[in-house]
Amino acid sequence: MSTIPQHDELAKRTGHLLAACGAKVTNGDQMARTPITGGSLGAAGAAGDIGAAVDRAHDAFEIWRTTPAPVRGNVVRRLGELLREHKSQLGELVSIEAGKIRSEGLGEVQEMIDICDFAVGLSRQLHGLTIASERPGHRLMETWHPMGPVGVISAFNFPVAVWSWNAALAIVAGDPVIWKPSDKTPLTALACGALFQQAARENGAPEHLLQVVLGGGKQGADLAAHEGVPIVSATGSTAMGRKVAPVVAARFGRAILELGGNNAAIVAPSADLDLAVRGIVFSAAGTAGQRCTTLRRLIVHRSVHDEIVEKVAKAYESLPIGDPLADGTLVGPLIDGGSFDRMQAALETAQGDGGTVVAGGDRALDDEAPDAFYARPAIVTMPGQTEIVRSETFAPILYAMAYDDLDDAIALHNEVPQGLASSIFTTDLREAETFIGAAGSDCGIANVNIGPSGAEIGGAFGGEKETGGGRESGSDAWKGYMRRQTNTVNYSRDLPLAQGVNFDV
């Protein structure tokens, strides 16, 4: 078990990391802290003015929307290069501010690098269609155009990756970006913003192409409500989405929502159990259970239920918990005391519903770090899918339930309001194809023989139902940041009307 570092040394290290990325931190009312020790890292700056930021973004838009897309891609290419150069510093900063273990912090920066690579290629492929026209001498086609400023509201658990999924696509699409990061992770945003500004300057891009606006709920609400922001991408809880979505819809804006996840894995009797256990443990305990794709429900065939639970519990007991920057640590801290309290309340409710805590659930290292909140990942066997199981608790709690028939398992899987990520462990081809088919998982992501946690840049990321329906990152998610225009060009000397209409004058 690792030793928690001295807070003063951690704060000093944070200053060096910010300086290495070219970030300048000013005094103000926005404060930064680290969940590693629970202590303050000092001021991060002042809360921003969304209205002023939108005005500046529109000035940038006037230039950027007519800049050729491959030229826009040069800014993102340079950003990717700078991220590679500063990967270790940014990864460490993510660990300090969000509490992720070192490999996950570095992995998050790698996601930024990957989406930059994707977006650079995309900048030469923002293509529409040529469509057969029913009228002679006419060409029918569709083109795609920039929309305007994109507001990005990001969450603490992925303080930089999710922003980049949106920003890289928006920038090559011709849209300036206004980024309102979580008020729990402002420093990582300032560091990324500084690197972006360097990339923009070196490529002659307009000023204010990216603006980082610090603040809390007021800034997020102002961004969602501003009519000068045609697209708002918001990542967070379903409760947050319920506030953002109607505000954006009321002004006929476009919302890209990536909200709560209550993700499950089905373990079939034919599954490779050792492989399944590895996938389950990472998906459920990784990032201290604070991923939107974290595995929260385990639906196991009755014939292997007890064996799987025993193996997962044994693995949990051996997980190194502690300083996320230390080699060998696999579980870092929860973001704050509120998260730990919600975890304890959920466990108490689950036990009241007949659940049994098989392993974990208690606080760790409280004598060594009394102001931080480290928790041992919990596995709880449940008699059925009670209301607490149907709710998302952003903490490392895994509810295990037994099933007898695959149809029943899929029904149990789908019987929650969230629909983000899902998985099945099986070596039966029919079961695998059924799960990812039309009558299987109702989630935006459905995996076979890997857990629900973790995604590659090439695929669109997002979910259905209370997860919000938004899509970010790969595939054709870029269309969410542009407007489609249908064009008809008449190159004949006649004016035939569609559908054979006669209107002679």
Indicate which CATH number applies to the domain containing 403.
3.40.309.10
Per-residue confidence at 454, pLDDT binned at 50, 70, 90? confident
Domain that holds residue 436: 263-448
Q: Taking all residues of the chain, what is their mean pLDDT, rounded to a whole number?
A: 97
39 with 183, same domain? yes
235 with 96, same domain? yes
**Residue 129, Cα to own-chain centre: how many angstroms?**
30
Give 199-258 pLDDT, tens digit per residue: 999 999 999 999 999 999 999 999 999 999 999 999 999 999 999 999 999 999 999 999
The residue type found at 489 is V
Is residue 316 assigned to a domain?
yes
Whole-number Å distance between alpha carbons of 312 and 300: 12
Give 417-428 pLDDT, tens digit per residue: 999 999 999 999
110 with 228, same domain? yes
81 has catalytic annotation? no
Spatial CA neighbour of 374 closest among 326, 336, 333, 319: 333
3-state DSSP of 449-490: CCCCCCCCCCCEECCEECCCCCCEECCCHHHHHEEEEEEEEE
Q: If you average pLDDT over residues 76-83, what whole number do you get?
A: 98
Look at residue 2 in the predicted model and tell me its pLDDT: 61
Give 8-59 pLDDT, tens digit per residue: 999 999 999 999 999 999 999 999 999 999 999 999 999 999 999 999 999 9
Give the DSSP H/E element, type plus range, for residue 225: helix 217-225
276 with 238, same domain? no
The phi, psi pair for 234, rounded to 5°, reads -125, 130
Decide which of 448, 477, 495 is a domain's last residue. Answer: 448
Query: E-strand spans in 72-159?
Result: 130-131, 138-146, 150-153
203 with 329, same domain? no
- Using the predicted structure, report yes or no on whether residue 154 has a pLDDT greater than 70: yes
Is residue 491 assigned to a domain?
no
Q: What's the number of domains the chain is made of? A: 2
Is residue 144 assigned to a domain?
yes
CATH number at residue 201: 3.40.605.10
- Using the predicted structure, report yes or no on whether residue 1 has a pLDDT greater than 80: no
254 with 267, same domain? no
Whole-number Å distance between alpha carbons of 9 and 1: 20
327 with 434, same domain? yes
Whole-number Å distance between alpha carbons of 437 and 50: 44
237 with 367, same domain? no
122 with 242, same domain? yes
Q: Which is the catalytic residue, given 92, 97, 111, 258?
A: 258
Is residue 463 assigned to a domain?
no
Whole-number Å distance between alpha carbons of 402 and 399: 10
Spatial CA neighbour of 420 closest among 469, 478, 386: 469
